[in-house]
Structure 1
Amino acid sequence: MAAVRWSRPGTWLLLSLLAAPLLRVVVSLEPITTGLAIAAASALTGYLSSPKFYCGRLVECCQVDKPFNGTALELSLKEKLFGQHLAHEIIYKALTGFMSNENPKKPLALSLHGWSGTGKNFVSKIIAENIYDLGMRSKFVHLFLSTLHFPHNSQIPRYKDQLQSWIRGNTSKCARSIFIFDEMDKLHPGLIDAIKPFLDYYEHIDGVSYRKAIFIFLSNAGGDLINRLMLQFWDSGKTREDLELKDVENVLSVELFNNKNSGFWHSGLIEKNLIDYFVPFLPLEFRHVKKCVLAELRLRGFHEDETLASQVAQEMTYLPKERKLFSDKGCKTVSTKLDFML
């Protein structure tokens, strides 16, 4: 239980107040009964003071060794993520394997790439929800937005210091911290290398282990490359399900390394192979957008309406213009268009 952080000032005062009614009864009982009552009171106090009672009921705890439910993760991906067979397989296997490893050699680093609306943010949300009950609202899940947290090119040295301090401080409090970097394609070149030491194969850095942390990078960079590969597969008579990770991952990492607008330009994270998986998110077709509409209807408590779902999906714009194969916004505006239809 040493891995569970739950002690707070005033905890024992609260526990004493909870157990006090039972203890008051003890003084009016016979000796034998008194002994039993004292034992019961002791057991109650022990239960109330245990992390099992305290965590989740009173505060959110960092439970590093909490068993991971891979079945629940796979179900979430199946029900909520559409048209992304590669992302589904990679995220499920990578996260399940990492979470079940009691002594990983390095943190898990996932870089998610594709057009807007294809499910990158959605997947990061699913990951957070399957590790912490509060999901993205958990105090152990940290989201960085490039345009919000690192807006000025002139402040890069300051941002690097702040970023290292934030990661060091939060991981020292909870080894199972999750760090999500959104808008990587808008991040200033070189800034992300500030976190390189935390992703490497070090057992400890200044007494802190980062090996159980999770780093997730979200980016539109590489989306055009992924879409070109999809078109090539389409033109060769293959389906999107025929696309394998080996067809995309290497060319994607090279593209990001050489692209000044990727956030990974000449990055040591790529050069030293510290990113475990470059996860491609494929452009969505009409049938996938329709599934997004049906899922949104379920979420709002409506019955699934195939006709309405088709109408909303038809309101989307598709590329290339002459072929109209892929939704240019994925499922990003489904909710807004559904509002209009309803």
Structure 2
Amino acid sequence: MSDQDSSTSASQTEGEVEGEMDTELDGEGDRDETLRDSPVLSLSSFSSSLRAVVRIKQKYRAMKKRRQELSLLGLGADGNPAGVPSKTSPKIFTFDGLTPFSSTLSSTSSVPQKKKRRRRKGVLYPNRGRRRAPPKQEQSRAKYCLYLLFAIVFVQVYNAIENLDDHVLRYDLEGLEKTLRREVFGQQGAVDGLLSHLKDYLSTYVHNKPLVVSLHGPSGVGKSHLGRLLAGHFRSVVGETLVLQYYVLHHCPQEADALRCARDLAALISEMVERAEEEEKIPLFVFDEAEHMHGEILDALLQLVAIKRSNEYLNAVYLLLSNLGHAHITKHMLHNSSSISTSNLVKELTPILRNSLEKLHPLWTEADVLPLGLLEKSHVMECFLDEMTREGFYPDHTNIERLAGEVGYYPEVGGHEYSKTGCKQVVAKVNLL
């Protein structure tokens, strides 16, 4: 291998050598030419050529190392930062080579951003080295059954509330309340108690016993009038065939016919409750002048009320009107007129009347007892005003007060003047005008 071949191979391996390397190579080339021209090559000339090749190789390694360091620092080969154009001669400023601003933005925006690496969840590996998925937590199927149970209970409660509203609206208890408060005078406690029992009973169609209400009071306090108002209201909401007004002195005046009357009454009530069951309605039975009812009729009513023969007999309203216990009511009101009130009258007289009525017949053990008190003079004047208005007379206050004064009264006690006959004589006196 000659010196010229080695230098030539080195220069071909490194294509871009700086100017100083070119000069040194030229000098070495000339030296080799002289050596080649000489007929005999000496050892000294060969060693000098070898030293030149080693020096060129060291120079090349130093330059290569320098370029690697510059590339690591981000600098170009000429010492400028990477990407910065080298210095060139100035050019004339024109707008030909400019790019639009939008294209610049699009080019900058198209630079891909570094994506965030998602953190992978750790995978569980068994001890044996075989890969398996993490265990899944199984959900209990009983949870769905619990949800279904909640839905069923909610629907049942909602339907029950709707049924309560439907029953109350069907019987128009608000209209009944307005009628009783407008037509019945001086019996606020009894009216409130009766309406309370009706609202509790008529709010649903399923019952464990029929409703039995017994109204007691002296003559002329409004028992029969209240029964007529209640019967008229039920006729308008449930029909004529599901309301019975039974007057003992009219339907069964003879005691000898008491057994036959009891059988006929039981058959009539059974027929009405069966018809009411088919129509899904609650019938009303009003028994006026119950103090004249015979023992056989009371026994028949007790069997219908107390014995649970079938469901249709449980859906019925019985109203008993009598003057039984009127002596207890009159005595209590005359002796406690100073401290008596409408609410206290019902609370104080109810246990007294119940004890005396249960001794007469067991039927009253199944009934809710409501007492009606004596009427004052102001209540009698209201009865005259209402009756005169119905008959078309001019409601003169002086004339009303004169007519009310003709009614008998108990001696005034505690600032109250109670009537002996209540409003019983009002209709007769107005007819005489």
Aligned length: 263
RMSD over aligned CA atoms reads 2.7
Give the letter aligned to residue 248 of structure 1.
L
Cα distance between partner residues in 2 of 1:298 and 1:104: 42
* 1:75 to partner: Cα distance: 0.9
Give the letter aligned to residue 268 of structure 1.
P
Cα distance between partner residues in 1 of 2:259 and 2:307: 24
Cα distance between partner residues in 2 of 1:142 and 1:184: 14
The answer on 1:338 being equivalent to 2:433 is no
Residue in structure 2 matching 1:157, options 234, 241, 259:
259
What residue is the counterpart of 2:405 in the other structure? 314
- Cα deviation, 1:236-264, whole Å, max 9, x if unaligned, reads x2144353422011110111233xxxxxx
- Checking the alignment, whether the CA contact within 8 Å between 2:242 and 2:284 is kept in structure 1 is yes
* 1:304 to partner: Cα distance: 3.3
Q: Provide the secondary structure at the position in 1 that maps to 2:244.
A: strand
Residue in structure 1 matching 2:319, options 216, 223, 230:
216
What residue is the counterpart of 1:328 in the other structure? 420
Give the letter aligned to residue 374 of structure 2.
P
Give the letter aligned to residue 366 of structure 2.
L
- Checking the alignment, whether the CA contact within 8 Å between 1:106 and 1:201 is kept in structure 2 is no
Report matched runs for 1:223-238 at 5 Å.
Answer: 223-234=326-337, 237-238=338-339
* 1:303 to partner: Cα distance: 4.6
Q: Provide the secondary structure at the position in 2 that maps to 1:105.
A: coil
Residue in structure 1 matching 2:377, options 286, 311, 314:
286
Cα distance between partner residues in 2 of 1:252 and 1:286: 25
- Checking the alignment, whether the CA contact within 8 Å between 1:64 and 1:174 is kept in structure 2 is no
- Checking the alignment, whether the CA contact within 8 Å between 1:110 and 1:217 is kept in structure 2 is yes
Cα distance between partner residues in 1 of 2:168 and 2:390: 32
* 1:170 to partner: Cα distance: 1.7
The answer on 1:77 being equivalent to 2:161 is no
Taking structure 1 as reference, are residues 102 and 289 closer, same or farther at Cα in structure 2, changes over 3 Å only? same
The answer on 1:254 being equivalent to 2:355 is yes
Give the letter aligned to residue 221 of structure 1.
L
Cα distance between partner residues in 1 of 2:325 and 2:375: 15
Structure number with higher helix proportion: 2
Greater displacement, 89-98 / 169-178? 169-178
The answer on 1:198 being equivalent to 2:304 is yes
What residue is the counterpart of 1:93 in the other structure? 196
Cα distance between partner residues in 1 of 2:411 and 2:251: 35
What residue is the counterpart of 2:214 in the other structure? 111
The answer on 1:182 being equivalent to 2:273 is no
Cα distance between partner residues in 2 of 1:282 and 1:65: 29
Cα distance between partner residues in 2 of 1:278 and 1:322: 27
Cα distance between partner residues in 2 of 1:305 and 1:139: 42
- Cα deviation, 1:241-292, whole Å, max 9, x if unaligned, reads 353422011110111233xxxxxx2x2323xx311x2111111111100011
* 1:165 to partner: Cα distance: 1.1
**Structure 1 unmatched runs, 5+:** 1-62, 259-264
Cα distance between partner residues in 2 of 1:283 and 1:213: 30
**TM-score computed with the length of structure 2 as normaliser:** 0.56
Give the letter aligned to residue 197 of structure 1.
Q
What residue is the counterpart of 2:271 in the other structure? 169
Q: Provide the secondary structure at the position in 1 that maps to 2:212.
A: strand
- Checking the alignment, whether the CA contact within 8 Å between 2:221 and 2:422 is kept in structure 1 is yes
Q: Provide the secondary structure at the position in 1 that maps to 2:171.
A: coil
Cα distance between partner residues in 1 of 2:185 and 2:216: 15
Cα distance between partner residues in 2 of 1:242 and 1:124: 21
* 1:322 to partner: Cα distance: 9.8
User: Greater Rg, structure 1 or structure 2?
Assistant: 2
**Structure 2 unmatched runs, 5+:** 1-165
Taking structure 1 as reference, are residues 68 and 119 closer, same or farther at Cα in structure 2, changes over 3 Å only? same
**Share of identical aligned residues, percent?**
27
* 1:96 to partner: Cα distance: 2.0
Determine which structure has greater relative contact order: mean sequence separation of CA pairs < 8 Å that are 6+ residues apart, divided by chain length.
1
Q: Provide the secondary structure at the position in 2 that maps to 1:328.
A: coil
* 1:172 to partner: Cα distance: 1.2
Give the letter aligned to residue 299 of structure 2.
D
Taking structure 1 as reference, are residues 125 and 79 closer, same or farther at Cα in structure 2, changes over 3 Å only? same
Taking structure 1 as reference, are residues 140 and 102 closer, same or farther at Cα in structure 2, changes over 3 Å only? closer
Q: Provide the secondary structure at the position in 2 that maps to 1:319.
A: coil
What residue is the counterpart of 1:49 in the other structure? none
* 1:71 to partner: Cα distance: 1.7
Structure number with higher strand proportion: 1
Cα distance between partner residues in 1 of 2:399 and 2:369: 35
Cα distance between partner residues in 2 of 1:199 and 1:298: 41
- Checking the alignment, whether the CA contact within 8 Å between 2:218 and 2:326 is kept in structure 1 is yes
Q: Provide the secondary structure at the position in 1 that maps to 2:335.
A: helix
